[in-house]
Amino acid sequence: MRILLIEDEKKIAGFITRGLKEDKYVVDTAFDGEQGLYLAEINPYDLIILDIMLPLKDGISVCKELRNKHINVPVLMLTAKDSVGDKVLGLNCGADDYLTKPFAFEEFLARVRALLRRKTRDKSTTLKEADLELDQLTHKVTRAGKEIMLTNKEYMLLEYLMLNANTVITRTMISEHVWHEDFDSFTNVIDVYINYVRNKIDKDFTKQLIHTIRGAGYILKE
């Protein structure tokens, strides 16, 4: 799942980003409100984490503009202000949840997961293709009932392929959804990770699920 973090304090942004990546999320970061609003408009995100006190455009204004443009991605608002009035203001502008700094990272992750569960409440959180299964909440991956251990990046790559099963996925699409905004899609890193995942998913099975489409990209299908 892909998250946009809009936070101008780079030390806090770095701390949050590291923690989210360790929990197998793809994270894009913006350090001011205008950049954050731009990224939210051009990229599909599953969650936006939004600080209120931002340069160029404050978080309240960003959240209002997102909702006015019918961008209904869940928003977790972060702020150093803890008065009831400030919380009400944040929620009234369209935010889904509100967390006051400083916070325990365990609570922060719990709120992130709760918002993502709410977003997918009417959908199954288990992705299936043939005998391959991936649980987006527990991050457990199995094939024919056998658990497969993946690194964070391998998991994110497989999740993206499964979310787009039976569709050709280009290297550019993979770079934008599995790596980050500035990743160079012309390096061979994507090919290397495809091979890592293929070796774990397909190596011991007769039926191959991950296929290379020459000159186009990759596809996961029976």
Q: Is the pLDDT of residue 183 over 80?
A: no
**Planar angle of CA 27, 32, 37, nearest 5 degrees:** 70
Of 34-48, 62-76, 181-195, the range with the lowest mean pLDDT is 181-195
Contact 10, 30 (CB under 8 A): no
Domain 126-220 adopts which CATH fold? Arc Repressor Mutant, subunit A (1.10.10)
Mean pLDDT of the chain: 87
With a cut of 90, say whether residue 181 has pLDDT above it. no
Banded pLDDT at 84 (limits 50, 70, 90): low
Q: What is the pLDDT of residues 192-218, one digit of tens each?
A: 999 999 999 998 888 999 999 988 899
* CA distance readout (Å), 162 to 159, 175, 216: 5, 16, 17
Q: How many C-beta atoms lie closer than 10 Å to residue 119's C-beta?
A: 16
Position 124 confidence tier, pLDDT thresholds 50, 70, 90: low
Tokens 């209002």 appear where?
64
Q: How does residue 119 score in pLDDT terms, banded at 50, 70 and 90?
A: low
Read off the pLDDT band of 131 (50, 70, 90).
very high
* pLDDT score at 121: 57
Band (86; pLDDT cuts 50, 70, 90): low
User: Domain locations in the chain?
Assistant: 2-119, 126-220
Q: Could you check whether 2-119 and 126-220 share the same CATH topology?
A: no
Residues 111 and 95: their CA atoms lie apart, in Å, by 13
The CA-atom distances, in angstroms, between 66 and each of 61, 73, 145, 186 are 9, 9, 42, 32
pLDDT of 29 > 90? The answer is yes
CA 202 to chain centre: 25
For domain 2-119, the CATH architecture is 3-Layer(aba) Sandwich (3.40)
Per-residue model confidence (pLDDT) at position 82: 64
Compute CA distances 117 → 78, 121, 136, 138, 160, whole Å. Answer: 19, 6, 10, 12, 17
